[in-house]
């Protein structure tokens, strides 16, 4: 179990990931901020009792924000690090 896990990735833009209270089965809190090279259409997604207790994702122009509270299928940042070679 990790209390805090942070990862930065650069791939078609900049992405920052933050996970709090991480286990293999769940994350209490996961957050992502991204700034892309290319713009996209505005998008708002909300998730209730899906892959997390509550979550949302907002994209507008080049900015992307994503938040999940008590994620049942957590984002495994170690796999991102191994894939990217960081």
**Rg for the chain (alpha carbons), in Å?**
13
- Domains contained in the chain, number: 1
Q: Would the pLDDT of 28 be above 60? A: yes
Query: Measured between alpha carbons, how far is 79 from 75 in angstroms, rounded to an integer?
Result: 9
| Average pLDDT over all residues of the chain | 85
pLDDT score, position 86: 52
Give the domain extent around 61.
Answer: 2-84
72 CB neighbour count, 10 Å cutoff? 13
Long-range contacts of 2-9 (CB under 8 A, 24+ apart): 5/77, 6/77, 7/77, 7/80, 7/81, 7/86, 9/80, 9/84, 9/86
* pTM of the full structure: 0.78
């Amino acid at each position: 179990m990790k209390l805090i896990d942070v990862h930065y990735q650069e791939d078609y833009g900049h992405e920052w990931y933050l996970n709090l209270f991480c286990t293999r089965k769940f994350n209490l809190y996961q957050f992502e901020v991204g700034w892309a090279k290319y713009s996209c259409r505005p998008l708002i997604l909300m998730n209730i009792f899906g892959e997390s207790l509550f979550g949302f994702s907002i994209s507008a122009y080049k900015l992307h924000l994503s938040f999940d509270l008590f994620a049942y299928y957590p984002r495994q940042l170690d796999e991102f690090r191994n894939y990217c070679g960081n």
